[in-house]
Amino acid sequence: MDWPIDQLYGLLNYIYQRIGYLFYLVDPRQCMFEHVYQVPRYVEEMFPVFIALAIAENGLRLVKGKPIYRFNDTIASVGQGIFQECVRLKLRSFEVLVYCMVWDNYRLLSMPWDSLTTWLLCFLGVDLGFYIFHRISHEVNIIWAVHQAHHSAEDFTMISALRQAVLQPFTAWFAYLPMALFIPPSIFLTHLQLSEIYMIWIHTEAIGSLGPLEWLLNTPSHHRVHHGRNRPYIDKNYGGTLIIWDRLFGTFQSEDTVGEPVVYGLVHPVQSYNPFYLQFHHWIRIGQSVFRAENWSNRFGHLFYGPGWSPGKPRLGLATDVPLIDHPVEYWSPAIPFWQNVYTIVHFLLILGYYYTVADGHRQLSQQTISYCIVVLLVSLTTIGLLLENSRFGLHLELD
């Protein structure tokens, strides 16, 4: 049956808009809102596009002779994304909450919410703010303890972009506060989401150099460097949408300059799929270092200097302390029985559907019900992670 012209036009317009969100190619006039509650949940609206992108990326990987996604690393990444979204089900955005408090009580002037100048200034402000807190996340150990979860994936795919730090919204807010003195919260929330969406597609090995755009934009090539654990790539390319801040502040590094492929993950890889361990294991390491420190100066260093610091070293540690990479790289991937593979995948797909149902209808649920749903999701994700590790505790937890 032929589709009516207006329905076909509506579908094409829907696809066009979502692709535009992905690359920050939007009409500012359609992304200006007077109040925060009017701002759409752009990230949620991108879910179908994101699934399509993951399928397309796998196709490109096959064409280029690369293996498709490893299901264990993929499940762990999606699980981390759900973990963060469980927090957002209770509190949409801590950054926006604090931003609104400053705007309501301390703003110096009120720029018009429907002004192109306001929109462009907020775009630059959000991007610079992201660079600032992202760099601090790598250079201050207690903030790195939060952010490191995003770097724990050993595969670099669009799915790995979901491997987010649960507590990151509680550490990033300060970088955006200067804008709250003059830019309306609704415009800020719009750019906060569009910036997050843009950074999805740069997590891929399927796209090579983009030519002259590499000078201005953060691209997959630049972001591969950022996620690399090769010595020359450590603590480089912090940009969000633009790469100009890295070029200005001396943190830029181009790809293919070290004579070996980029290897992803943490400098000291974490061998776990347990969502809680992935999120919080570095806190254990910090606590042990602080406990063993000989004086308060060293305790301060373990907390507020770089994650590679130790007494007698520069604030950010020494590049020579970063382990050299042996090739071919062996990725951690525990062998589990075939039935356990199938069971884990089916269980995860059910949990994914459960999460999407809760997220889509949470406005109609009580806070008590949402809390119960969150507990179910987190216990299930932990069980799945332990099953992927072939841990006997996973089977016990699943049976319980």
| 341-396 pLDDT tens trace | 899 999 999 998 999 888 888 888 888 998 999 999 999 999 999 999 988 777 66
Structure tokens at 395: 């089977």
Between 201 and 14, whose confidence is greater? 201
**Model confidence at 2: pLDDT above 60:** no
Share of the chain above pLDDT 70, in %: 94
Instruction: Give the pLDDT band of residue 1 (cuts 50, 70, 90).
Output: very low
Q: What's the pLDDT at 259?
A: 74
Predicted TM-score of the model (pTM): 0.91
Q: What's the pLDDT at 362?
A: 80
**Model confidence at 215: pLDDT above 80:** yes
Specify the long-range contacts of residues 250-259, CB closer than 8 Å, at least 24 apart. 251/135, 252/222, 253/225, 254/214, 254/221, 254/222, 254/225, 255/209, 255/221, 255/222, 255/224, 255/225, 257/232, 258/230, 258/231, 258/232, 258/233
**Model confidence at 124: pLDDT above 80:** yes
Q: What's the pLDDT at 11?
A: 63
